[in-house]
């Protein structure tokens, strides 16, 4: 998976930035941006796993407020390539 290689990847990276988010939280933010109920969830989890395999995202099981969830964050590779600038949903350069 190339960073910036497809729109779905770019949207995920834009949403994530340097924050740790669960798949559900990412989907919720994507829905807020695109106002599309279903498109955000369908294939999101496989997409996250694919990006993690490519080294674009990193994932960890984290416990926050007593709730253990798997959370994702963009890696240096994603933020350092010029595809993603800033954090927490910064600007994207296609």
Partner 1 sequence: MTDRPVAADYLATVAARLPLPAELRADVLAELADHVADSIAALEAEGLDRDRAERETLARLGRPEALAQDLIRAHQTRRRLFAGIGGGVYAAGGAWITGIIFGFSFATIATIVALAVGALLQSAFGVQVALQTSDQAVNTAIYGVVSWFAAFLAARAAVRASATRSRRPIPELARWWALLGTTLLALWVLVGLTMPLNPPAVVVECAIPFAFAAGALVGIERPGPRVRGVHVVAALAVVLVPVVALGAFVTHGAPSPVVIESGGALPNGMPDMHFEVVGLQATIEAPGGGGWWSTSDGGIQTDASPASAIDAGGWRDLRFEAWVTRSVGTEPVVVAVLDTTHRSPFAVVPAVREGDRYLGTFHFERYRGVGPWMIFFTGVAPDGRRYRLGGGGGGNSTFRGTVWDWLTAPAIP
In the chain, what's the furthest Cα-to-Cα distance?
39
Which range binds partner 1 by CB under 8 A, 4-12, 13-21, 44-52, 77-85? 44-52
- Residues near 56 by Cβ (< 8 Å), separated by ≥ 6? 1, 3, 9, 13, 74, 75, 77, 78
Shortest distance in whole angstroms from residue 94 CB to partner 1? 24
With binding defined as CB under 8 A, does residue 43 bind partner 1? yes
> 18 near 73, Cβ under 8 Å?
yes
Alpha-carbon gap, residue 89 to 13, rounded angstroms: 7
With binding defined as CB under 8 A, does residue 23 bind partner 1? yes
Q: How many DSSP H helices and E strands does the chain contain?
A: 4, 3
With binding defined as CB under 8 A, does residue 42 bind partner 1? yes
With binding defined as CB under 8 A, does residue 65 bind partner 1? no
With binding defined as CB under 8 A, does residue 47 bind partner 1? yes
Site residue total, partner 1 (CB under 8 A): 20
For partner 1, the binding residues (CB under 8 A) are 22-24, 27-28, 37-38, 40-43, 45-47, 49-50, 53, 61, 69-70
């Amino acid at each position: 998976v190339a960073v910036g290689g497809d729109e779905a990847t770019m949207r995920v990276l834009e949403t994530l930035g340097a924050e740790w988010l669960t798949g559900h939280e990412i989907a919720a933010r994507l829905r807020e941006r695109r106002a599309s109920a279903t498109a955000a969830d369908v294939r999101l989890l496989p997409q996250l796993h694919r990006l993690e395999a490519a080294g674009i995202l990193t994932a960890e099981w984290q416990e926050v407020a007593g709730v253990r969830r798997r959370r994702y964050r963009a890696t240096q590779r994603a933020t350092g390539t010029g595809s993603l600038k800033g954090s927490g949903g910064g600007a994207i350069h296609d």
